Structure 1
C-alpha cells in the first residue's frame, strides 16, 4: 500500500514539474515573439525602401496576422495571472496554446522574410549586377559572328527543316542583348531617381534578357554536336533494322508482323542518298519508331503462338460451367437460408457480379452468344472461369456451414430426418442422404470442371 501512495506522489510531482516547465516556455516564447515582431517591423521599413510596397505585401500581411494572434496569446497569459483561481488543467491548456501561437508566429515571419532576403541582397548588389550584365552582353556580341558562321556551315549539311529551331537564333540574341543593355541603363536611372520598384523590375528584365541571349547562342553550337551524334546513331539503327528484318522473316508471318516489316522497309528506303541535306533527328525518330513497331509485332506474334487464342467452343464451355456452378450454389444456399454464413453468401454474390461483368464485357448475354471475337476470347474465358471458381468456393463454404449447423445424430436411422432407410437414402448409416446428395453435387461439379479442362 505504501508503494502505491508513493507512486502516486511521484506522478503528481512529475506532472507539477512538467507544468512549471511549460509555463516557463510560454513566458519565454511570448517575449521572443514580441521582440521578433518589432525586429520584423524594422526590416519591413527597410524592405519597403529597397523593393517598394508591392514587393513587400506578403510580409506586411503576415506581420498584421501575427500581431492579431499574439494579442490572443497575451490575453491567455493575463488570464493565468488574474485574481480568479485556475485549475492546473486550465493553466496547462492556456500555456500550451501560448507556445503554439508563438511558434506559428516565428515560423510565418521566418518564411516571409526569407522570401525577401534574396531580393534585398540582389538590390544591394545592383551596381555589381548591372556591370555583369554589360560585360556578358559584350562577350555574347563578340560570339555572334562565330555563331552566324556555324549556322552557315550547318546549312550546307542539313535541311532547312532541321535548322528551323535555330535559324533565327543569332538575330534574336542580338535583339535581346540590345534590350538587356537598355534595361540596365533604365535601372540605373530609376534607382538614382529613388524609384526603387521600377529600378528592380528593369534590373530583373536585363538579367533575364542576357540569360536568354546566351541560351540562344549556345543552342547553335549544341545543335552541331547533337546533329553529328544523331547521324552516328542513325547509322547504327539502320544496321540494326536490317538485321531485324532478317529475324522477322523467321517469325510467325501474321498480318501484324508483315505490316510492321513493310513499314520498316519503307523507312529504310526513305533514307536520302549521300550528299543530300538531311534532317537526322526526324530520320532517326521515324526509323526508331518503325524498328520498335516491328519488335513489338514479333513479340506479340510469338506470344500468341505460344498461347493461341481459345476457340469459341472453349469459351462456351467455360460460360456454361460458370452458369451451372452458379445455379447449384444458388439452390443450395437458398435451400438452407438459416444455416449459411456470410462467407458463402459473399462468394456467391461476387460470382454473380463477375458473371454480370462478363455480359457487359461482351455487350450481350454470354449465354446466348453465338460467336465471340478473337480479341475478346481470352478475357471472356478468364472472367467466366473466375465466376465459376467463386461459385464453387461459395458452394464449399455452404457445405461447411451445413455440416457445422446440422444437429448431432441428424441423418441417423430413426431420427425422422434425412437418411432414413424407408426413403432409400443413407442406408449405410452415418450422416445419410444430405451428405450423399452434397457429395454427388460437388463430385458432379468437379467432373464437369475436369471435362471442361480437357476440352480447353
Structure 2
C-alpha cells in the first residue's frame, strides 16, 4: 500500500539530510548502491555495520516501542541512497513495504552519514520533541558512527515522548473532567437553591390573606408572579365547578334559596375578567417597572382571592344544605322530640312565673313577663315547619329542597323557645345574683370613673366620652337597683368594661 500525502498532524515532517562527516566525506569512495527495498523485518542491516548483540539491542528497542505504543518502527542500514536522496529513497521503500499510518521508517546511509525518519508524526509527540530527539540524540550517534545507538535512541525517544504526551493528555482530560463536574455541580446546586427558594416563597404567598396588601407587597416579585398565575388557574377552575354546582342547587332548592350563590358566581366572573386583564398587561410587550408590577400583582391576587373566598363560602353553604337534606328525616324526628320536651316544661314555667310575680314587683319581672307566651308561639311555629318539612320529603328527588328551609326555621324556633323557658326557670337565681353582686359592681364602676377623671388630661375626647357614658350608666343603675336589679347589673358591668378599655388605651 502506498502512502501519498503523508501529512503530519501538527506540522509537516522534518526533512533532514545531514552530511555529518563534513566536506571531506563528499569525496569518500562509494560501494555498491542500495536501491529502495521492501522491508520484511523490523531491522535490516544491508551495510553490515551491526554486530549480533547490537542487532538484538535495536530489535529489542523496536519491539518495546510497539508493545507500549503500538507504533511500528522499521530501521534499515544501507551504504548509500542510490543517488536518490534520503527523502525519495525512504518514501519509495515505504511504498514498496506498504507502510500504514502507524509505521515509521528510519533509513540510515552509513557511508553518506545521512538519514531519513519517514512517516506520520505519532500522537503525543510534538514537532519540538521530535526535533530535540533527532538533533540531540540521533545525529550525534550517527556522527560518531554509533549505528546501533541511532536506532535505539530513536525507538526509546519516541516511546518516552509518547508516554509523557499520553500521560499529560490523560492528566488534562482528568482535570478537565473534574472541572466540568465541579462547575456542573455548582450550576445544579445553584439552580436547585433557586428552585427551593422559589417554592418556599410561593408557599408563603399561598398562606397570605388576599386582603393583606402589606404582606403581599413584601413578598419577592417572582413569588407574586408565580402566585398570580396560580390564582388565575384556581379562579377559572372554581368558576367552572361552581357553575355546575349552582345549576344543581337551583334545581334542588330553587332560585330564591340559591340567590347568594348566584351573586357570588357573578362577582367571581367579574373578578376573573379583571385579573386576566392585569395579567395580559404584565405579559405584553410594554414593560412595567418593578414597583408597577408589584402594585398590579397585589391587586390581581387580592381581587381573585376575595372572589374565590366568597365562592368557597357559598359552596360550603350548598354542601351544608345538601348534607341537611340527606339527614332531613332524622333531623325532623329529633325536632319532634324537642317539641315534646318543651311542651312538658310549659306548666312548670307558668307556675314559676306566677310565683315570681307574687314575690317581685312588675318592673323586676319585665324582661321575662311574656316568656311563656312567646315560647308557646315559637313551639307552634316549629310544629308548622316540621309538618312542612315532612311534606317536602314526599316530593321526588331533586324537588325536596323546601325541607331545608323548613328544618332550619323549626330549629331556630325550638332554640328560641328553650331560651325563653330557661329565662323563666333561672330568673329567681339571676335576680338574686344581680342583687347580691350589684353593690360591688357599682363600687368598681365608681373607682374606674375616678381613675378616668384623673387621666382626663391625657385621654383626649375618647376617654372623656367613655367617662361620661360610664357616669350615666352608674346613675341609671343606682336608680334602678331596687326596681330592676337584673338590667342595672348588666348595664353597670357593660359600662365598666367599656371604661376599662378606654383607660387602658
Task: Please state which band the TM-score falls in when normalised by the shorter chain.
Answer: 0.3 to 0.5
More strand by share: 2
Q: Give the greater-gyration-radius structure (CA).
A: 2
TM-score normalised to structure 1 length? 0.41
More helix by share: 1
